[in-house]
Amino acid sequence: MDAAGNRTITDLLDEQALCHGHRLAIVHEYQNGDISQLSYIQLREAARGFAAGLQARGVMPGDRVFVFMGNTAEYVPLWMGLMLAGAVIVAGNIYLTAPEVAYQLEHCQPALALVEPTHEALIREVCAGMAQPPDIVAVARGSLGPEGLSGALAGAPADYQAPDQGSDDLAQILYTSGTSARPKGVMLTQANLLWCGQAGAANSGLSRSDRVFNNKPLFHANCQETVLSCLTAGATAVIGERYSATRYLRQLIEHRITICSLSGMLCRTLLNQPPTPFDQAHQVRYAGYAINISEAEIAAFIERFRIPLRNGYGQSETMLYITLQPHASPSSYPSIGRATPDREVFVVDDDNQPVAAGAVGEIVVRGRPGRTLTLGYYRDPAATQAVFEGGWLHTGDLGYQDAKGNFFFFGRKKEVIKRAGENISAAEVEEALMGHPAVRDVAVVGIPDPVRDQSVKAFIVLHAGHQADADAIKAFCAQRLAYFKVPEQVQFMAELPRNASGKVQKRALLDA
């Protein structure tokens, strides 16, 4: 499916403003409870105002603009405004350190950096060391008020001059988390984003009556998919500033949420909250979630909150899901679902040949670069060629497919542990360890072994007030895993090293 044609985000906003008018498009809730909301007409006008302000500052089509902002009410209309102006948004992660920001700025060479005042000092510090630093503009919270735009990017919607645009134009760069190498800039076109909205709305069964909640960062593909899907369907996207376990259930109830986005961590922290009489007083028909959650946790979550959990799998390069559990016939845990109707997904060996059902190989997906798949990696032709080797997009993840078409995640290709001829999924061992009542966090890696090639080592963080020793951990695993998967070494830590995206930095563990 590629119904974008030569349409652009400008067309989407115009069409939906005409169709849905004063219906709410975006609702934003800050941590202090303040609410900001935009109708479809107001969103289009705010985006045009930002676009006019950008054009007045000299931003030209094709210019990269680095956006270093959290989930503020300004983010979505500014994101849209950048695309209306023909600029390329580079979505920066506000949790990055100065060296990480410096790498991305040097790599993408933006003409302009838009930052929240909270982060302005860091950006100015980094830019001071650049040979060609971008202009820096602070975008304060409250720039988007009931009287319209104010501040450095204020512009009149009537002053917006639509540039000559097409669906194949580059619209956005999202940097990968860089868990195995330097972050790569995933290039996404206008068609990619339109198609993401179309596929997301169809796969979720969205209608204009839906209200979808997401409090993950807007600089990540997950939350962006929520916004694009809702805009496509005429639904309402409700965006939280950030996650709060103590407020989450209230937000679902007060905003009349029908679909929400969760993760393993979010499910666990919600389960750890004291039960209330309102645990099931919501209207949520299902929640999408990530794969890092155990079967026992899924059962406990569904039993307590009566929210069906729907597993799926995707990445920034595929914007977003390539497999998803069907509504009518959900796959059994731990399946990551079946190929979505718009995808060709296979499991292949190292020679790019499909493997038999049940055999582990790399998950690959076929599509059209720049339309249904990323255009490639910015300023990295070698990585682009590698990811599209053999005409497939290589996910870098291992998995298998059963005879019924259900896919299962096995682990990152570079994280598979090879012990005495056996392939061991680090993710599987981590899942088993997370079932131990004393374990709060875990990472499993392969370390060199002079006899068996590699052996299994677990880095474990315990819950406060809990105790466990290495022998107890090994005995627990031995009851749940084949002998060759049981960690031979166990190291306890206060915390695991994580990058700005929250992913464990296993290279740092290996180097320690």
pLDDT tens-place string over residues 136-152: 999 988 887 665 666 77
Residue 409, domain member (yes or no): no
The per-type count for the chain, helices as H runs and strands as E runs, is 14, 27
Rounded to an integer, what distance in angstroms lies between the CA atom of residue 381 and that of residue 492? Answer: 41
Encode pLDDT of 161-170 as tens digits: 999 999 999 9
Number of domains in the chain: 1
What's the DSSP call for residue 484? Answer: G
What strands, in cross-sheet order, belong to the sheet with 88-91? 135-138, 112-115, 64-68, 88-91, 170-175, 185-189, 376-377
320-353 burial string, b = 16+ CB within 10 Å, else e?
Answer: bbbbbbeeeebbebbbbbbbbebbebbbbeeeee
Among residues 234, 185, 178, 243, which one has the least CA distance to residue 214? 243
Residue 464, domain member (yes or no): yes
Residue 456, domain member (yes or no): yes
What is the pLDDT tens value at each position of the chain, 512 positions in all? Answer: 566 788 999 999 999 999 999 999 999 999 999 999 999 999 999 999 999 999 999 999 999 999 999 999 999 999 999 999 999 999 999 988 888 899 999 999 999 999 999 999 999 999 999 999 999 999 988 887 665 666 778 788 999 999 999 999 999 999 987 655 678 999 999 999 999 999 999 999 999 999 999 999 999 999 999 999 999 999 999 999 999 999 999 999 999 999 999 987 788 889 999 999 999 999 999 999 876 677 888 899 999 999 999 999 999 999 989 999 987 666 577 899 999 987 899 999 999 999 999 999 999 999 999 999 999 999 999 999 999 999 999 999 999 999 999 999 887 787 778 787 677 878 888 988 999 999 999 999 999 887 777 899 999 999 999 999 999 999 999 988 878 899 999 999 999 998 766 788 888 888 76
Rounded to an integer, what distance in angstroms lies between the CA atom of residue 149 and that of residue 287? Answer: 35
- Number of Cβ within 10 Å of residue 463's Cβ equals 14
Contacts of 143 (CB under 8 A, 6+ apart): 74, 149, 150, 151, 153, 154
CATH number at residue 497: 3.30.300.30
Residue 96, domain member (yes or no): no
290-313 burial string, b = 16+ CB within 10 Å, else e?
Answer: bbbbbeebbeebeeebebebbbbb
Residue 417, domain member (yes or no): no
Residue 296, domain member (yes or no): no
Rounded to an integer, what distance in angstroms lies between the CA atom of residue 346 and that of residue 398? Answer: 11
Residues β-bridged to residue 364: 346, 394
Residue 460, domain member (yes or no): yes
Q: Sort residue 306 into left (φ over 0), alpha (ψ -120 to 50) or beta.
A: left
- Judged by DSSP in three states, 107 sits in helix
> Which residue shows structure tokens 């392969």?
446
> Distance between the two ends of the chain, CA-based, in angstroms?
47
Encode pLDDT of 308-366 as tens digits: 999 999 999 999 899 999 876 665 778 999 999 878 999 999 999 999 999 999 999 99
What's the DSSP call for residue 291? Answer: S
pTM for this predicted structure: 0.86
Rounded to an integer, what distance in angstroms lies between the CA atom of residue 399 and that of residue 427? Answer: 11
**Cis peptide leading into 117, omega within 30 of 0?**
no
Q: What is the pLDDT of residue 132?
A: 94
Q: What is the pLDDT of residue 421?
A: 66
Residue 318, domain member (yes or no): no
Domain interval for residue 463? 423-511
